[in-house]
């Protein structure tokens, strides 16, 4: 492969340097406007790093599930999952974290870069109870850099345009995809029972 960019100097010669709002919108704390964005967002993507590499995971709940504690701190519950705990494993080994908040219908996004810790304080975990289920832990993020992202990516992708949304049937089911990896997997049973399983294990 040829014509690879291999240095920051080459990148800056190609793109130039950021200026104006792209620079001064980045602040080391959560402003009141940024706080509002977080409080109405029902969905955030978490990125972490560990010895094995990087991990990126979606998290969602009713709007407000990411709690803004003060202008440097947000907290979010670690809801029930598949027990891979890739994000948590990374945090205990490397506290760096990045969050990307999305709001359905809004093309702008909000980013937080900072450091994370995991709390199992009983009272704190209980304060995030949902449908009588208490999360096993709460992720506490200390913000170091906070800024909004321009809407170009979501506008180009037409992410919120319902007329462009695909039905689930347009893709292989989860069962079918797993069966392709393990021949004796019962894909039909897995797919048939999944809606009820999801309902019972959502929290």
Q: Check residue 46 and give its pLDDT.
A: 98
What is the average per-residue pLDDT within 25-36? 97
For 57-97, write each residue's pLDDT tens digit. Answer: 999 999 999 999 999 999 999 999 889 999 999 999 999 99
188 pLDDT tier (thresholds 50, 70, 90): very high
Looking at the structure, give the CATH architecture of the domain made up of residues 14-159: Roll (2.30)
Q: Check residue 94 and give its pLDDT.
A: 98
Domain definitions of the chain by residue range: 14-159, 166-203
Instruction: Please give the helix or strand (H or E) that residue 9 lies within, else none.
Output: helix 8-15
Of the candidates 144, 143, 14, 163, the one whose C-alpha atom is nearest the C-alpha of residue 73 is 143
Q: Check residue 22 and give its pLDDT.
A: 87
**In what order do the strands lie in the sheet containing 137-149?**
53-60, 43-50, 96-103, 106-119, 137-149, 73-78, 67-70
1 pLDDT tier (thresholds 50, 70, 90): confident
CA distance 151 to 40: 17
DSSP 146-181: EEEE-THHHHHHTTT-GGGPPPGGGS--HHHHHHTT
What is the average per-residue pLDDT within 97-123? 98
């Amino acid at each position: 492969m040829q014509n690879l960019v291999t240095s920051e100097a080459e990148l800056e010669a190609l793109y130039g340097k950021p200026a104006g709002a792209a620079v001064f919108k980045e602040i080391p704390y959560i402003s009141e406007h940024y706080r509002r964005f977080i409080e109405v967002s029902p969905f955030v993507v978490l990125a972490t790093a560990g010895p094995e590499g990087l991990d990126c995971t979606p998290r969602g709940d009713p709007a407000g599930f990411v709690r803004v504690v003060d202008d440097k701190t947000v907290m979010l519950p670690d809801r029930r999952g598949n027990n891979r705990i890739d994000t948590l494993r990374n945090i205990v080994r490397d506290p760096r974290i990045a969050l990307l908040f999305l709001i359905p219908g809004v093309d702008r996004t909000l980013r937080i870069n900072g450091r994370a810790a995991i709390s199992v304080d009983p009272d704190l975990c209980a304060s995030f109870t949902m449908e009588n289920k208490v999360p096993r832990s709460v992720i506490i993020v200390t913000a170091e850099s906070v800024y909004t992202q321009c809407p170009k990516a979501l506008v180009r992708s037409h992410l919120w345009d319902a007329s462009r949304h695909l039905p689930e049937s347009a893709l292989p089911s989860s069962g079918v995809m797993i069966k392709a990896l393990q021949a004796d997997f019962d894909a039909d049973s897995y797919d048939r029972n999944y809606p009820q399983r999801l309902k019972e294990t959502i929290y």
